[in-house]
Amino acid sequence: MTNRREATAAWRERFGVQSMLLRQFEAAGDFGDLSPREYDVLLVLAEAGEGLRLGDVASRTFLPQPSMSRIVERLEKRGLVERCSSPSDARGVLVSLTPLGATTQREAGRRHVRSIAQAITAGLDDREIATLTRLLTKVRLANTANAANTTDNANSRFAIGMEGKK
């Protein structure tokens, strides 16, 4: 049986590193005039390559749907995203990037990827980075079935914003 104290220490360290680095990325201006959560929405839409339902964007950004609605409204007012009817479901609404949103995401993404690489390689070599990635993937996969049942609860308490981002 895994030692609970060690498991808790590992969680706190992972969460602490993420929080610290996110503050550094914001201070460095990685996201421009976007919040990290707004950037996440643009990134998810860019990675999708097509419009997504609001619920899909919320789940891919680890945010609850009410928060996602407000973020999308702000991005829409700034001309970065647009809503349109789903071609497969007349009642459905899809959110997609505008050309300005795509450009904004690419520019912020370049800065952010540089910062991530700099932060991670400052303390780890390539082998250690591969090991860290493998271990975090293993934890995620071991908890995937349970996460599907608790997504809304977890998202509202532990929205992390940058998980799985490039």
Torsion-angle region of 133 (φ positive above 0: left; ψ -120 to 50: alpha; else: beta): alpha
Token pair of 93 as six digits: 């609404």
Q: Are 78 and 137 in contact (CB under 8 A)?
A: no
Angle at 138 between CA 35 and CA 161, to 5 degrees: 5
User: Is a pLDDT exceeding 50 seen at residue 159?
Assistant: no
- Kindly report the pTM of this predicted structure: 0.75
pLDDT in tens, 44-68: 999 998 888 888 888 888 888 888 8
Q: What is the pLDDT of residue 2?
A: 66
pLDDT in tens, 132-152: 999 988 888 888 766 655 544
